[in-house]
Amino acid sequence: MSKLWGGVFAEATSDFVLEFTSSLQVDQRLWATDIRASIAHAEMLGLQGIIPEVDSKKIIEGLIRVSIRIQSSIKNGESPWEPLAEDVHSEIERLLKNEIGELAGKLHTARSRNDQVVTVFKMYCHERLQELSQNIHALKSTLFKIAKEKSDWIMPGLTHTQHAQPVSLSHHLLAYFWMFDRDERKIKSVQEWMMLESPLGSAALAGTSFPIDREFTAKKLGFLSGGQNSMDGVSDRDFALDILHLSTLSMLHLSRISEELILWSTPEFGFLRMSDKVTTGSSIMPQKRNPDVAELIRGRVGRVQSAWVGLSTTLKALPLSYNRDLQEDKEYVFSALDTVTQSVKACTLMLENCEFNREAMESVLAGDGSNATDFADVLVTYGVPFREAHEVSGRVIKTAAELGRPLEALTYQELVKIEPRIPKQIISVLKHKAVLERRTSYGGTAPSQVALQLERAGKILLNPVSVKT
């Protein structure tokens, strides 16, 4: 097995240590990105005259052939890697040596694995975040579609899991649209930050004596410029923590909507029926239709949240510059990105196949008292101080309960017996639809405001946030 080091060592490394220190099982997914970065580095070495241009071209051609061979192996279900290899970066150099001979050794001129690894890691994560962003955009589109189709559906809005005020289903779903819109914008922001500075050229920690062109490789690989400080360049993992933070936020949002879908699908709510595509049965109870997908999304928040804790613990008190502890970064980030990306897809599939029940949503509003606030608000418009109006409204609700009738079914004659100051006009605002229509403040649930929300959301979907690099 070839290694990128070892000249000073008198004894061979034990197989146990090779296995213990290997990161190949985690970082092998970086192979294509590593080759792309290596091609840019080889091109720069030739242009700068650090190695002959003819050698640079042969290295680049060799890397392209290596890429084709790796693709072919993976397609055929074969592993192109040696079992105890240290990492994917050393494996690509080994394969390149098999392809072009000793000339492959020139590729590592003026770079270290320290700057090579973090450069490739950043580039790969940028690509994965783009994939995540596209999936979140698709989830937003699904929420928008349902909200637009059902903009006139009324349902109870809850606080403390108790009926509070009526809202539209559209308004409720758009709340999640804006959550995920924030997630998508955060992704774009992290993408921009992580591609501001290229670590390539930082070498091991102190830069290099070779006349490299860091701006060339930076631009070639999609970065804005070369890094300001070589020690920071090889040791910075802020971007990894940023990824884990935004992944955690997205998982929290996914967990919240999953919990609501679970509740709404219970017989007690009956607001929706989940498709057979996203539910499973019971091994003992034939009638069961379990919302396993939603439950697993809810449960997997812990994976991603703990990844942030794990990596931040690894970085805590880590001295400059590179330390092998940093090898642990990728497992946390890759696992989190895999989890959140799959969870977004699963949530989209659930929503696409939900059958909402309008009658169930509207029927539970009858007599729920969620129009009591508007009762008080109308009294305020007739000069009653709000605290008094609140007290009057409470007495009316109590009386309605004693009579066994909903508030909206009380007659004006019954109301004025409770409080003479109640105006006759109050009867017209107690229907839940009327209550909904009164919520006309910006961002409110009134149909006019929901229509504006849908208009804004539609424009955002047509013009997604772009990444500046």
- Quick one: DSSP state of residue 166? E
Task: Identify the bridge partners of residue 290 per DSSP, sorted by sequence position.
Answer: 280
Task: Identify the bridge partners of residue 459 per DSSP, sorted by sequence position.
Answer: none
The C-alpha angle 9, 10, 14, rounded to 5 degrees, equals 80
Catalytic residue among 72, 79, 282, 448: 282
CA distances from 308 to 6, 120, 231, 317 (A): 35, 21, 23, 16
Q: Rounding to the nearest 10 degrees, give the CA dihedral for residues 112, 117, 118, 123.
A: 130
Euclidean distance between the first and the last CA atom of the chain, given in angstroms as a whole number: 40
Q: Find out whether the peptide bond into 321 is cis, omega within 30 degrees of 0.
A: yes
Catalytic residue among 160, 209, 283, 428: 160
282: annotated active-site residue? yes
Beta strands in 113-222 (DSSP E): 154-159, 162-168, 197-198
Which residues are within 8 A (CB) of 174 and not within 5 positions of it... i.e. 6 or more apart?
143, 144, 147, 450, 453, 454, 457
Q: What is the largest CA-CA distance in the chain?
A: 102
Q: Which residues are catalytic?
A: 160, 282
